[in-house]
Chain A
Amino acid sequence: MIDVSAFNEALGIMFSSVGSWGWIVPGLIVGLVFSAIPGISITMAMAIVLPMSLYMDFFSAIVFLTSVYTGAGFGGSVPAILMNIPGSPSSFATTFDGYAMSQKGEHNEALGYALFASTLCGIAGYVLLLLVIEPLADIVLRIGPVEMFAVAIWGMMLLGSLGSTYISRGLLAAALGILLGTVGMNTAGFTRGTLGLPVLLDGIAPIPAMIGLLAASQLLSLASRDYIIEAEGSREVSLRKILKGCWGTLKYPGVLLRGSIIGIIIGAVPGVGSSIGNLIAYAETKRTAKDSATFGKGNPKGVIAAESAVASGEGGSMATMLALGIPGGGATAILIAAFMMHNIVPGPSFIETQKPMVYAIILNNIVQAIVLLAVGIGFIYVASNIMKVRTRYVLPAILVIATLGTFAVTGEAAGPITLFVFALLGYALNRYQYPVSAVVVGILLGRMLETEFLRSYQLSGGNPLYVLERPGAMAIFAVMFISLGMTAWGKRKQNRAEAAEALALRQIQEETRAAHTTPSKG
């Protein structure tokens, strides 16, 4: 399952580029700090530090960014456990039992469970990736342009349909992203949508656009708050109790395994990601547990299930990114941008030609998960204070860094201007519940989609029935339409149920109000 010679070369890459190891701890700290601040997401953290990686060599850049990703996976659980406020959506399920444990005075143990589950399942996700990347490479090499186009369209459809409450808004966002990604000169030599600006001939600069959409737009919306979050007082932190929690995690191997499997599968599907994976893992663990009645009241299994899915989801999403070159969400979209900045295109040919590098990236992520254990414990000590930073200090500093970051990428004012334009667009899209990540991925994949579609058209000679000769593509299209139909049906059902529930709630409130007002009249 493992190409031994490539594996040995990977070890050589790791030990010959010792400088890259130095980026693990800063990356983890950046990820932990940013994701512990509610309102600042993993993707925002990665988008802000992305330009810095331009000046590193390729391996160091990927080590740094994946360290941010790894740190962010756990960072969000700290405020989730201590304050019932998930630092990022992927820590939502951690609040259910984590905060309940915290209220019982078991916050140290809860943090220990979360940290050790994150470490173990982060490693599990990447070990599995290490084992499957070789067979996966053989499969993806058989993928032609038609299948590649089908997979990319499927990914966009999923991102669009699952990233928002409204499927139609998600699909419009995905279509807008694809169109923005095709601005400039296409592979056939036609130039569109440049407004006569030479800077747009190569298309919209994806990194400034991404930083604007994912980071700056969110930061603008924080201007109305004095503190990013009104935090409770800090709680006493005990290393002994945290380690006790870490040790206690090993008592639940079944929960860890289930959470990991769910996390890996969900993480590998574009558009779904860890924000849903942790909820599914939690629900499944609760459903199958004998003591399901204690879930939500401080059951450690709830914390472990949620955190294991978040941590292992990273390995799953990296599998899709490395094998197909398709980002599963915002964070992997940024990793793809980092690959592109170093003129490397992830996907089938990357795995085939750079197998030692792929192994080195995976092995380094395993190291990161181990280092997280030490850095994470240190971080818990300072975490409760981080959340009390006033926006008046955070906002100007981060916005200036983001702006200069885009300048560092483009070397001209076009970068900051792109950031500004897309920050406004991102703000407006967020305001009306359009999934911004669908636009980002569209911008990244637009050019690739058009190229693969053109190749398919040229191969088929313009005959649409050519797709019938490609069973793989047909299967992907079939799955795409079925999953889209099921999502639409599910959301319709969910919306109806929510509307009925809201109506019932309103009736109860009105009845209660009427019951309270009637005696006073009398």
Chain B
Amino acid sequence: MRIGRHSYAIDYGHLALITFIAALVFWYLLDARSVSLSVNNLLLVQPVAIFALAMYLFIVPQCFHKVEAREAAKPSSENDPFAVSLSTDRADVMRMAALGVSLGLMVFLLDVIGFDIAIFLFAAAAMAICGERRPLHLLFFSLAVTLVTIYGFRALISYPMHTTLL
């Protein structure tokens, strides 16, 4: 994006994240106000929400980088061993997203298909996403994870755990 003489790169992911947070905060503020306008209800929530929205306005410009400045900033972050070094490589991002999706599927299917099947399928999927291609390894390790966790947690917790086969 060009503004005047300068070229700007927009960090859309960051912009989307903070806009989501700001929308969430704004909705929460409206929800709290719709319940009651009493001081006992809004004493903390309202000022903190307004503060969070102010911070959002302060952070938005950080999503726009001058192209030259961005390039110059790269080497310093590479030298910092504790800089957040999440891979931005497309294949890596796809792997992380796939693992996130499979975690979500497992979580929502626990009560539907049973903890045992959901855990087995998730373990196999997660191994495959992380690069395992040998069918026997996929089968036996996923089975081991399922058996150990199901029987282990069943011995530990008092709640009923819905399972289909075990």
A235 at the B interface (CB under 8 A):
no
A411 to B110, CA, bound (A): 12
Given the contacts A55-B156, A413-B111, A192 and B35 also touching, CB distance less than 8 Å: yes
- Asked if A397 and B45 make an inter-chain contact with CB atoms under 8 angstroms apart, the answer reads no
List chain A positions with a Cβ less than 8 A from chain B: 52, 55, 86, 89, 92, 166, 168-169, 171-172, 175-176, 178-179, 182-183, 186, 188, 190-193, 216, 220-221, 223-224, 226, 275, 390-393, 395-397, 399-401, 403-404, 407-408, 411-413, 416-417, 419-420, 423-424, 427-433, 449-450, 453-454, 457, 462, 498-499, 501-503, 505-506
Contacting residue for B107 out of A92, A403, A427, CB 8 A: A403
Contacting residue for B110 out of A55, A413, A429, A499, CB 8 A: A413
Within 8 A of A (CB), among B37-75: 38-41, 43-45, 48-49, 51-52, 55-56, 58-59, 62, 72-73, 75
A431 to B142, CA, bound (A): 29
A86 to B157, CA, bound (A): 36
- Asked if A223 and B75 make an inter-chain contact with CB atoms under 8 angstroms apart, the answer reads no
- Asked if B126 and A395 make an inter-chain contact with CB atoms under 8 angstroms apart, the answer reads yes
- Asked if A182 and B96 make an inter-chain contact with CB atoms under 8 angstroms apart, the answer reads no
Contacting residue for B100 out of A224, A423, A450, CB 8 A: A423
Contacting residue for A188 out of B41, B59, B107, CB 8 A: B41
Q: B28, B43, B59, B130 — which one has the most chain A CB atoms within 10 A of its CB?
A: B130
- Asked if A417 and B52 make an inter-chain contact with CB atoms under 8 angstroms apart, the answer reads no
B18 at the A interface (CB under 8 A):
yes
A178 to B51, CA, bound (A): 11
Distance in Å from the Cβ of B107 to the closest Cβ of chain A? 4
- Asked if B59 and A168 make an inter-chain contact with CB atoms under 8 angstroms apart, the answer reads yes
Distance in Å from the Cβ of B18 to the closest Cβ of chain A? 7
- Asked if B40 and A393 make an inter-chain contact with CB atoms under 8 angstroms apart, the answer reads no
A518 to B28, CA, bound (A): 62
B10 at the A interface (CB under 8 A):
no
Q: Which residue of A is nearest B88, CB measured?
A: A431
Residues on the B chain within 8 Å of A450, using CB: 43-45
- Asked if B142 and A413 make an inter-chain contact with CB atoms under 8 angstroms apart, the answer reads no
List chain B positions with a Cβ less than 8 A from chain A: 11, 13-14, 17-18, 21, 24-25, 28, 31-32, 35-36, 38-41, 43-45, 48-49, 51-52, 55-56, 58-59, 62, 72-73, 75-76, 81-82, 84, 86-87, 89, 91-93, 95-96, 98-100, 103-104, 106-108, 110-111, 115, 119, 122-123, 126-127, 129-132, 141-142, 145, 149, 153, 156-157, 159, 161
- Asked if A179 and B25 make an inter-chain contact with CB atoms under 8 angstroms apart, the answer reads yes
A432 to B40, CA, bound (A): 35
Residues on the B chain within 8 Å of A216, using CB: 103
Given the contacts A396-B122, A403-B106, A499-B73, A169 and B59 also touching, CB distance less than 8 Å: yes
Given the contacts A224-B96, A392-B130, A404-B149, A182 and B44 also touching, CB distance less than 8 Å: yes
* 18 new A-B contacts at CB < 8 Å, known A223-B96, A224-B96, A416-B110: A169-B62, A175-B48, A178-B44, A182-B45, A186-B40, A192-B31, A224-B89, A224-B92, A226-B131, A392-B131, A397-B149, A399-B103, A403-B110, A407-B157, A450-B44, A454-B40, A457-B40, A505-B76
- Asked if B156 and A52 make an inter-chain contact with CB atoms under 8 angstroms apart, the answer reads yes
Distance in Å from the Cβ of A428 to the closest Cβ of chain B? 5
Contacting residue for A396 out of B62, B92, B127, B131, CB 8 A: B127
Residues on the B chain within 8 Å of A404, using CB: 115, 119, 149, 153
- Asked if B153 and A396 make an inter-chain contact with CB atoms under 8 angstroms apart, the answer reads no
Contacting residue for A506 out of B41, B75, B91, B104, CB 8 A: B75
Distance in Å from the Cβ of B50 to the closest Cβ of chain A? 9
Given the contacts A92-B82, A176-B25, A449-B44, A502 and B108 also touching, CB distance less than 8 Å: no
Distance in Å from the Cβ of A260 to the closest Cβ of chain B? 24
- Asked if B82 and A221 make an inter-chain contact with CB atoms under 8 angstroms apart, the answer reads no
Residues on the B chain within 8 Å of A171, using CB: 51, 55
Q: Which residue of B is nearest A54, CB measured?
A: B157
Chain A to chain B contacts (Cβ below 8 Å), 15 pairs: A92-B81, A183-B28, A188-B41, A190-B35, A192-B31, A390-B130, A396-B123, A397-B123, A399-B103, A407-B110, A416-B107, A427-B96, A430-B84, A433-B84, A502-B76
Contacting residue for B103 out of A390, A393, A401, A420, CB 8 A: A420
Contacting residue for A411 out of B132, B149, B159, CB 8 A: B159
Distance in Å from the Cβ of A143 to the closest Cβ of chain B? 19
Q: Which residue of B is nearest A415, CB measured?
A: B107
Q: B24, B36, B153 — which one has the most chain A CB atoms within 10 A of its CB?
A: B153
Contacting residue for A400 out of B25, B72, B75, B149, CB 8 A: B149
- Asked if B159 and A432 make an inter-chain contact with CB atoms under 8 angstroms apart, the answer reads no
Residues on the B chain within 8 Å of A412, using CB: 159
Residues on the B chain within 8 Å of A178, using CB: 44, 48
Residues on the B chain within 8 Å of A166, using CB: 59, 62
Given the contacts A166-B62, A223-B99, A430-B84, A501 and B17 also touching, CB distance less than 8 Å: no
Residues on the A chain within 8 Å of B24, using CB: 176
Q: Which residue of B is nearest A498, CB measured?
A: B76
Distance in Å from the Cβ of B96 to the closest Cβ of chain A? 5
Residues on the B chain within 8 Å of A413, using CB: 107-108, 110-111
- Asked if B43 and A453 make an inter-chain contact with CB atoms under 8 angstroms apart, the answer reads yes
Residues on the A chain within 8 Å of B93, using CB: 224
Residues on the A chain within 8 Å of B142, using CB: 396
A40 to B14, CA, bound (A): 25
Distance in Å from the Cβ of B157 to the closest Cβ of chain A? 4
A329 to B156, CA, bound (A): 29
Residues on the A chain within 8 Å of B107, using CB: 403, 413, 416-417, 419-420
- Asked if A220 and B100 make an inter-chain contact with CB atoms under 8 angstroms apart, the answer reads yes
Q: Which residue of B is nearest A432, CB measured?
A: B14
A275 to B17, CA, bound (A): 27
A86 to B28, CA, bound (A): 40
A223 to B99, CA, bound (A): 7
Distance in Å from the Cβ of B23 to the closest Cβ of chain A? 12
A501 to B156, CA, bound (A): 55
- Asked if A223 and B28 make an inter-chain contact with CB atoms under 8 angstroms apart, the answer reads no
Residues on the B chain within 8 Å of A502, using CB: 72-73, 75-76
A176 to B73, CA, bound (A): 28
